[in-house]
Each structure stands twice: as structure tokens, then as C-alpha cells.
Amino acid sequence: MVTLNATAKLNDVDPYAWLADVLAHIASTPQNRLSELLPWQWEKLTGDA
């Protein structure tokens, strides 16, 4: 959990919002698109940048 939190913060992503969104979408995300849920990709997808 510490690593997930630190990685999100290093990518200027709110760790709690990111983790909540990942947990909500990971089951319905195809395996070949899981990289989109990583913090540095997630930020781009949500438009928070």
C-alpha cells in the first residue's frame, strides 16, 4: 500500500481517488488495457493534468 500511495503521489495523482477508481474498474477492464489504470496513465484519462 505504501508503494501504491507513493507512486500515485509521484505522478501528481490523488492516491485515494486513483485507488478507488482502479478498484471500481479493474474487473471490467480487459487485460490488454490494464496499463491504462496505472497512475501515470490514469491522470491522462481523467483529465486531471
Structurally, the chain folds into a number of domains equal to 1
Q: E strands of 8-48, at which residues?
A: none
Residue-level pLDDT at 22: 93
Judged against a pLDDT cut of 80, whether residue 13 lies above it is answered with: yes
Does this model's pTM top 0.85? My answer is no
Judged against a pLDDT cut of 80, whether residue 28 lies above it is answered with: yes
Judged against a pLDDT cut of 60, whether residue 48 lies above it is answered with: no
Cβ atoms 39, 8 nearer than 8 A: yes
Judged against a pLDDT cut of 90, whether residue 6 lies above it is answered with: yes
- Domain with 41 in it: 2-46
- Report percent pLDDT > 70 for the chain: 86
